[in-house]
Amino acid sequence: MRMQRLAYIIIPLLVVGMYVQLFYTQEKQQSVKEVRLMPTMPTQVFQVIGHTYMQQMLADMLFIKVAVFYGGGNDIEASVDEMANHFVTMNKLNPKMIDFYYRTEAALADKGDDYTNITNKILEVGLKALPDQVPIPYFEGFNYYYYLDEPVKAAELLRLASTYDEKYQWLGHLASTLLAKGGSIRAGLTWLKGMYGSMKDGEEKERYAADIQEFEKAMVVQVALERYASKSGGSYPEKLSDLVPEELRMLPKFSEKFYLDYQPPHLYLKVKDKRRPKS
């Protein structure tokens, strides 16, 4: 009788103990498992769901899922395709989500030309859905200028952004600067500072801060070129080393990511490895 009572207490305790042990073992194994974003729903399914009362909430849930994955120290490069699919899905479900455009620009635009183009298509939808949000044409213009080397398209978008409100008229000036001779580095620096200010995430801000430092070094060389040109009646040196030592103490050293490309009279700061190789 006594043994029976003991068995009624010990056996459940043993089972609970085994369950707790197994739970912690499984937790440890899950933490080392490679985490990838699950693929999104098929197009037709989300098109139907996207027409229900819950479409905005579904987009918000996907946004949280991607944000947790992105900020969780996971291998982003391995899941860029899935991330891009999620962003396209969110865009279809709720094109009026503002935070989503910031996240897409921060997470996807720098991953390669294909992904920059996907980002720009998403931003095009945002231009129509949110016609008073200046960051959207600003981001799209930045992508054309910085990743796709299309300054003319970039300038068009900046001009569009400058029409949204009187306080953004300076963007029109930035567009003109971009297209002017010698204006590429100035425009790039102004633009990068704007992108730095618009980002919230620490890692993204650090990335833009590092690029800003490189552009500031390039500006020093640009200013030295302009001083040389004004002193010599409009003619530019054949090579940058001609600026040393009168206009510059020495030519600045750039990180592995950037290099100066001098095609008299134009000076460009080009990026060697700012993104994944073109597909």
Asked if 236 and 264 touch (Cβ cutoff 8 Å), the reply is yes
> Smallest gap, in angstroms, from Cβ of residue 174 to other proteins?
22
DSSP 8-state secondary structure symbol assigned to residue 174: H
Examine residue 56 and tell whether it contacts other proteins (CB under 8 A).
Answer: yes
Examine residue 43 and tell whether it contacts other proteins (CB under 8 A).
Answer: no
CB closer to other proteins, 200 vs 272:
200
Q: Which of 52, 213, 235, 241 binds other proteins (CB under 8 A)?
A: 52
What is the rounded CA–CA span in Å between residue 19 and residue 16? 5
Distances (CA, A) of 132 to 162, 163, 176: 11, 10, 22
Q: x/- site string to other proteins, residues 218 to 247, per CB under 8 A?
A: ------------------------------
Asked if 122 and 83 touch (Cβ cutoff 8 Å), the reply is no
Positive/negative CA dihedral, 117, 119, 120, 122: positive
CB closer to other proteins, 97 vs 108:
97
Q: Which of 98, 152, 210, 244 binds other proteins (CB under 8 A)?
A: 98
Examine residue 165 and tell whether it contacts other proteins (CB under 8 A).
Answer: no
Dihedral (Cα; 23, 26, 32, 34), 10-degree rounding: -120
Per-residue tokens: 58: 């579904």
Q: Which of 64, 73, 197, 277 binds other proteins (CB under 8 A)?
A: 64
Compute the 3-state secondary structure of the chain and give helix, strand, coil in percent, each to the nearest 5. Answer: 70, 5, 30
Phi-psi region of 159 (alpha: psi -120 to 50; beta: other; left: phi over 0): alpha
Residue with token string 């010698």: 182
> Smallest gap, in angstroms, from Cβ of residue 91 to other proteins?
14
Stretch that binds other proteins, among 75-83, 92-100, 172-180, 253-261 (CB under 8 A): 92-100
CB closer to other proteins, 60 vs 82:
60
Q: Which of 41, 67, 223, 240 binds other proteins (CB under 8 A)?
A: 67
Q: Which of 1, 42, 53, 197 binds other proteins (CB under 8 A)?
A: 53
| Site residues, other proteins (CB under 8 A) | 47-54, 56-57, 60, 63-64, 67-68, 96-100, 102, 200
